[in-house]
Amino acid sequence: MSYILDVLEEHVALLCSEKLCVWNWRSSALLAEVIQPFDNEITNISLIAPGYILIVRPAAGLDGLQLCSFPLEPPSSPSDHPLVTRVIYQFPSFSGTSVLSDVRIQADRQTFLRAPNPSDTTTEAPLRPFHLSSQSRVFSLGLVLSDMPDDITRDADFVIFITAPTFMKYATPSQPVGEPRVVLGKDWLYDTRVFTGVDTWWPEEFQIAGSRVVFSATDYQTNEVHIKVVDFNPEVAARAAGVPQKQWGSHSAVPIQGANGAEIIATFDRSLIQDHFADPIECAMPYTVSLRTVEMGPGEVIYHEVCIDEERLVFLKVCLLLPPRNKTDSTTMLELWPP
């Protein structure tokens, strides 16, 4: 039986085929419980903030992305474990005969990340390729579309990146129960970034760490590994480029030379996505891109196993084509991006 497990601070959520449950793992208190209905099941979840969880209900179609609240303290009645829908994030209609079939959510499951030292300014310390943020985790939304009338499902050739503050900006604690706020797609998607399949140089696989997304691709002809780290923390982009937030929109891209040969580009432009939706949508979340190329030794093949350890980007596996001299040679940890 498949399941999804998510942890945020002292809260843990478990989704399986029978029900969705949310606990406080410190106190072992059950805070919310939803029995899965057959005609409106929940297929994906992600804790956004204490007291709020994002759920996906494919049966709701374009209204299927919903932010729900749960109590921070256990309910007085053992049989009363509410989960209240607060916000419905509508999707725009898609082009052609495509309809929304499901949404896959990916996020960093680490919630306690070391923040950069406030004294580390560009004049006092080398500019680092990226910084960690514990305040604005980024989430990726991978859409599954069905092409009608044949009902053939396929992954959309674009991915949506959105931060936790964008989700939470539409949540109002004083909102009456039973009256969720409906946010049009063109409104909430404006504060996101939509990466399309046109940029095929980067593979679809990526890893999220805090506000950063790591892409990697191997060029086997040149024996090089291309690394791209996208940071969606707007403060990092503003700091790296020296562009005040009030001037966003007047700059499209600002290149900076980073440490260890990394190329850094802070982007503030507004993108118009026209190919995938019935009506074009605009997105304008600023981000910073760090690029670096790493040359590998002869006979080495890199598997796309990367992770971030604070401010170091590492490969977990380096497979040697040549016969290893001993067992320890077959797997190597290679530090690629030290501060």
One domain, residues 72 and 103 = no
Q: Is residue 328 part of a domain?
A: no
Q: What's residue 270's pLDDT?
A: 83
Q: What's residue 115's pLDDT?
A: 42
Q: Which of residues 60, 89, 118 is at a domain's end?
A: 89
Average pLDDT of 178-207?
Answer: 80
pLDDT tens profile 53-112? 999 999 999 999 999 999 998 887 756 778 899 999 999 999 888 889 999 998 876 544
Q: What's residue 105's pLDDT?
A: 93
Burial string for 301-333 (b: 16+ CB within 10 Å, else e) reads ebebebebeeeebebeebebeeeeeeeeeeeee
One domain, residues 119 and 252 = yes
223: confidence class by pLDDT, cuts 50, 70, 90: confident
One domain, residues 100 and 84 = no
Which has more confidence, 105 or 256? Answer: 105
One domain, residues 13 and 70 = yes
**51 within 8 A of 69, measured Cβ to Cβ:** yes
One domain, residues 153 and 246 = yes
> Taking 50 as the threshold, does the pLDDT of residue 331 lie above it?
no
How far apart are alpha carbons 170 and 263 in whole angstroms? 35
225: confidence class by pLDDT, cuts 50, 70, 90: confident
Q: What's residue 268's pLDDT?
A: 77
Q: What's residue 211's pLDDT?
A: 83
DSSP string, 74-141: --SSTT----EEEEEEPPPPBSTTEEEEEEEEEE------PPPPTT--TTTSPPPS----SS--EEEE
Domain that holds residue 213: 94-164+189-295
Residue with structure tokens 């440490």? 259
Number of domains in the chain: 2
Q: Which of residues 89, 111, 126 is at a domain's end?
A: 89
Q: Which residues make beta-bridge pairs with 58?
A: none
Q: What percent of the chain has pLDDT over 90?
A: 32
Phi, psi of 249 (to 5 degrees): 105, -25
One domain, residues 238 and 276 = yes
140: confidence class by pLDDT, cuts 50, 70, 90: very high
**25 within 8 A of 10, measured Cβ to Cβ:** yes
Q: Is residue 31 part of a domain?
A: yes
Q: What's residue 300's pLDDT?
A: 66
Average pLDDT of 173-187?
Answer: 86
pTM for the whole thing? Answer: 0.81
**Greatest mean pLDDT among 45-59, 67-81, 122-136, 215-229:** 45-59
One domain, residues 82 and 112 = no
Q: What's residue 230's pLDDT?
A: 87
Q: What's residue 310's pLDDT?
A: 60
> Taking 50 as the threshold, does the pLDDT of residue 30 lie above it?
yes
One domain, residues 204 and 76 = no
Which has more confidence, 246 or 109? Answer: 109
Q: What percent of the chain has pLDDT over 70?
A: 68
One domain, residues 50 and 108 = no
Q: Is residue 179 part of a domain?
A: no
Q: Is residue 260 part of a domain?
A: yes
Q: Is residue 184 part of a domain?
A: no
One domain, residues 61 and 109 = no
Residue in 298, 294, 290, 289 with CA at minimum distance from that of residue 336:
294
Q: What's residue 121's pLDDT?
A: 47
Residue in 139, 111, 135, 114 with CA at minimum distance from that of residue 8:
111
One domain, residues 45 and 102 = no
Mean pLDDT of the chain: 78
